[in-house]
Amino acid sequence: MPLLHIDNLHLAMRSYDGEAHVLNGVQLQVDKGEIWGLAGETGCGKSVTGLSVSRLVNTPPARYMQGRILFDGQDVLTLDERAMRRLRGRAISMIFQDPSTNLNPVLRVGEQIADVAFEIGRHAPQVLGLGPQTGLGERRRAAERLGVEMLERVGIPDAARRAHDYPHQFSGGMRQRVLIAMALVGQPRLLIADEPTTALDVTLQAQILRLLSDLVKRSDTAVLMITHNLGVVAQICSHVAVMYAGHVVESGRTREVLQSPRHPYTRALLAALPRPGLQRGQLANLAGRVPDLIHPPPGCRFAPRCARATAACTVATPPSVAVSDQHQVACVHLDEVPA
């Protein structure tokens, strides 16, 4: 049984001009130890999908119309807030994009990570290395020790002393490491990272990604990495799911999808990347714009921009077809495209 199984998820979002059909049957399966990249451009629904797994999307104005999010066989959408809170941090953890706004500026870093560890330790004392009947004081001390240990593990030098510093005394890259430490302190089974390196410099990006990759490999944690940057996907993701207008159009092992993309959108995306050897001014152009989610086009949402589109494409959202082991593509015109 996969650790995470998003099954035909449909989400609508109420907005100023109407109700937008943001997620259109998202299908995704993540097994433990796999690092899945959820890739796509602005508005494709990747962030909302990630937030949905942790039930951090406010309903209203959002509304889950259909589908399930199965975590370890349990539908997260049916859980109440208390049960959800127990999952968060302990089983499902999240890292967000901007490290400068995600840490409380008036609390010391060591305190913040100890808070997380302490809270998790309430229901799962084994995380702190303690038995079930321990006093608050001892638990707090264990939480603080664990906090410092985590800071060391994410590569913060002189962790014991640095734990007494405030967030503004850390650089951007260091802060992101602290956030990673906070996310992993509860030994989560699934880590959802929403554009964790977008706000960082290029050289830092590589370091942080390497750190993440090392940490999750050691603990067999599954990762859902939300990003618009295919370079990040190529760097650490074992698998990738490409999203367009609320639907996963192609998914599979990273190398396979990037080297032999079968969906017209994936191909167009890869063709649009500047590469050495290309003539200037000749970057493959993807004409048109992302569809209006309030009045989406019928059937395949990519059809209006697709060179291969026919009437068959507008009948219904194309089902995912397996083109090889683990490589799935949602297109009805697969046979016309050579592998």
Partner 1 sequence: MTDAAPLIEVQQVTRRYPLARQGLWEPRRSLTALDQVSMTVREGRTLGVVGESGSGKSTLTRCLLGLEPVDGGRILYRGADIAVHDAHGRRGHAARMQVVFQDPNASMNPRMTVHDIVAEGMVIHQRELGLDGPARTAQVLTLLGHVGLGRDHLHRYPHEMSGGQRQRVCIARALALKPECLILDEPTSALDVSVQAQVLNLLHEMQQAFGLTYVFVSHDLAVVRYLCDDVVVLRGGMVVEAGPTEQIFSTPQDGYTRALIAAMPELESCLR
Q: Which residues in this chain contact partner 1 in the complex, by CB under 8 A?
A: 41-42, 201-203, 205-206, 228, 230-231, 233-235, 254-255, 258-259, 268-270, 272-276, 278, 280-286, 289
Q: Cis link prior to 61 (omega < 30° from 0)?
A: yes
- Burial readout 203-238 (b: 16 or more C-beta within 10 A, e: otherwise): ebbbbbbebbbebbeeeebbbbbbbbebebbebbbb
Q: Shortest gap between Cβ of 324 and partner 1 (angstroms)? A: 17
Complex with partner 1: residue 189 or 327, whichever CB lies closer: 327
Complex with partner 1: residue 112 or 227, whichever CB lies closer: 227
Q: Shortest gap between Cβ of 270 and partner 1 (angstroms)? A: 7
The Cα 263–Cα 193 span in angstroms is 25
The Cα 70–Cα 119 span in angstroms is 24
CB of 181 closer than 8 Å to CB of 174: no
Complex with partner 1: residue 273 or 315, whichever CB lies closer: 273
CB of 39 closer than 8 Å to CB of 240: yes
Complex with partner 1: residue 251 or 254, whichever CB lies closer: 254
Q: Shortest gap between Cβ of 233 and partner 1 (angstroms)? A: 8
Complex with partner 1: residue 76 or 208, whichever CB lies closer: 208
Q: Collect all residues with Cβ–Cβ distance below 8 Å to 68 and sequence separation of at least 6.
A: 5, 6, 7, 8, 9, 75, 77
Q: Shortest gap between Cβ of 213 and partner 1 (angstroms)? A: 12
Q: Shortest gap between Cβ of 189 and partner 1 (angstroms)? A: 26
Complex with partner 1: residue 59 or 169, whichever CB lies closer: 169
The Cα 236–Cα 282 span in angstroms is 29
Q: Shortest gap between Cβ of 98 and partner 1 (angstroms)? A: 14
